[in-house]
């Protein structure tokens, strides 16, 4: 499910959008809305908030398309915008809630339920949901962008080494959870 969209095609679409071609921006939305929603949903663990974050990210991207650097990748840029929007909301959540937030993700009731193809995928989703926020986001971006650690680091604003460490620990935890799940069964 890694995004393998050609960056050149994205650049052409950005240029088109800057020239005022509405179809070009629509194509960018079509290409990335699902991935951005996925990242937002995995980070926020709430459908409504994920939807709001996705909208917010694209609105922001549309408004500040002129600031998009020619050498950058659109996917990295839009993920970074979405991730920052998530962080803002999570901070607000923490500020207004003293008690630990309930784990609102319930894969049995979430939007994923309709598309889960296998038991393995369902268990993996559940395990990812249980990861701490920083690991969850790294794993989600790894899932979306593949082994492009520098891109993940750019989105999260952390060093590549930290990305690798987080990913390693996240995978360890995932493996442990999946094994424990299998033993229970």
Partner 1 sequence: MMNERDDDLDRLLFAMPLEEPPADLRASILRGTIYRPAFALKLWELWMCGTFAALAVWLAVLIFRGGGAAFVRTLSVLGATVTHMLLVQNTWLWLAAGIGAAFWLLILNPTPMPAPFFKRYARR
Angle (CA) 53-56-57 rounded to 5° is: 85
Minimum CB distance to partner 1 smaller for 20 or for 102: 20
The alpha-helical segments, DSSP class H, found in the chain are 7-18, 22-44, 47-63, 74-96, 119-130, 133-145, 149-156, 160-184
- Residue 35 contacts partner 1 per CB under 8 A: yes
Give the total of residues touching partner 1 (CB under 8 A): 47
Contacts 24+ apart (CB under 8 A), 118-125: 123/178, 123/181, 124/174, 124/178
**Taking CB under 8 A as the criterion, which residues in 42-101 touch partner 1?**
42, 47, 50-51, 54-55, 58-59, 62, 66, 70
Minimum CB distance to partner 1 smaller for 97 or for 108: 108
Burial tier of 47 (Cβ tally within 10 Å: 0-12, 13-18, 19+) = middle
- Residue 33 contacts partner 1 per CB under 8 A: yes
Closest residue by Cα to residue 131 from 182, 80, 177 = 177
Please, what is the minimum distance in Å from the beta carbon of residue 155 to partner 1?
A: 16
The binding site for partner 1 (CB under 8 A) comprises 1-2, 11, 15, 18-19, 22, 25-26, 29-30, 33-35, 37-38, 41-42, 47, 50-51, 54-55, 58-59, 62, 66, 70, 110-112, 114-117, 120-121, 124-125, 139, 142-144, 146, 171, 174-175
């Amino acid at each position: 499910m890694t995004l393998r969209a050609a960056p050149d095609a994205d650049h052409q679409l950005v240029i088109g959008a800057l020239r005022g071609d509405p179809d070009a921006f629509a194509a960018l939305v079509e290409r990335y809305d699902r991935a951005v929603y996925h990242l937002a949903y995995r980070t926020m663990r709430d459908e409504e908030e994920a939807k709001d974050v996705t909208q917010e990210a694209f609105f922001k991207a549309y408004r500040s398309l002129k600031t998009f650097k020619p050498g950058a990748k659109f996917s990295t840029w839009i993920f970074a915008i979405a991730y920052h929007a998530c962080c803002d909301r999570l901070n607000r959540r923490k500020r207004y809630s003293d008690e630990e937030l309930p784990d609102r993700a319930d894969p049995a009731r979430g939007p994923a339920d309709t598309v889960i193809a296998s038991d393995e995928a369902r268990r993996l989703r559940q395990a990812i949901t249980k990861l701490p926020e920083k690991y969850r986001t790294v794993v989600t971006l790894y899932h979306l962008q593949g082994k492009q650690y520098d891109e993940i680091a750019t989105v999260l604003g952390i060093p590549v080494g930290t990305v690798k460490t987080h990913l390693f620990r996240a995978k360890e935890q995932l493996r442990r959870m999946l094994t424990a799940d299998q033993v229970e069964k």
